[in-house]
Structure 1
């Protein structure tokens, strides 16, 4: 199983995990999160992030999910990547996380594609004339 590491601003990562727990009615295994604040120095956070990456990895790799491309959490995530073993995606949202939790038994390439498609497919215009 591929581990999941949410590296986000503030409490976003934990909030997403709690929402996923609500939807799935359980806390998924091998998922960790680290929330960064405005005061955090990326170089100071890196050792802690590496340690947490190890907590999520059972030997099948880890997908690091971050919120905003180019922001501090994303920059830390980029320093953790090892192609094929530790990959990262930006733009995390709840549909993306749920998709990743569903496909994490597959290979990393498949998981990356499902993560991005889950994030994109979860963004929809709600038309009052066609609402479910």
Structure 2
């Protein structure tokens, strides 16, 4: 199974895991790394690398971050190994829900594509959906 490591500013990674497990149930091979403003970034990079090792059973790992170009993404990208360790920036709950099943049946490349598609698909503006847009 593809491992997941959520890496975000503040406690967002932990909250995303809690929300994911609320919707789809307890998850295996998932870790969180929360980056604080006063953290030692080399220590956090080491934490991310250790989390990758813990969740990697040989099927690969997807690191999900909150903001491309932010410190969590930059630290995660330093571990990028295309096809084996991939980074997706812009984490959202639909993406995580899709990964629950995708990571059991797909390659890293396929699972990343499925997660990105779900992440985009479920961004909605309610007034547009309900026909109340000005």
TM-score clears 0.5: yes
**Structure 1 equivalent of residue 2 of structure 2:** 2
Distance in 2 between residues matched to 1:123 and 1:90, nearest whole Å: 15
**CA shift for structure 1 position 109:** 1.3
Distance in 2 between residues matched to 1:31 and 1:39, nearest whole Å: 25
**Secondary structure in 1 matching 2:78:** helix
**Secondary structure in 2 matching 1:32:** strand
**Matched residue pairs, number?**
130
Pairwise CA RMSD: 1.5
Q: Which residues of structure 2 form unaligned runs of 5+?
A: none
**Structure 1 equivalent of residue 119 of structure 2:** 119
Runs of 4+ in 1 over 6 A off after TM superposition: none
**CA shift for structure 1 position 101:** 1.3
Q: Which residues of structure 1 form unaligned runs of 5+?
A: none
Distance in 2 between residues matched to 1:52 and 1:129, nearest whole Å: 39
Distance in 2 between residues matched to 1:43 and 1:129, nearest whole Å: 45
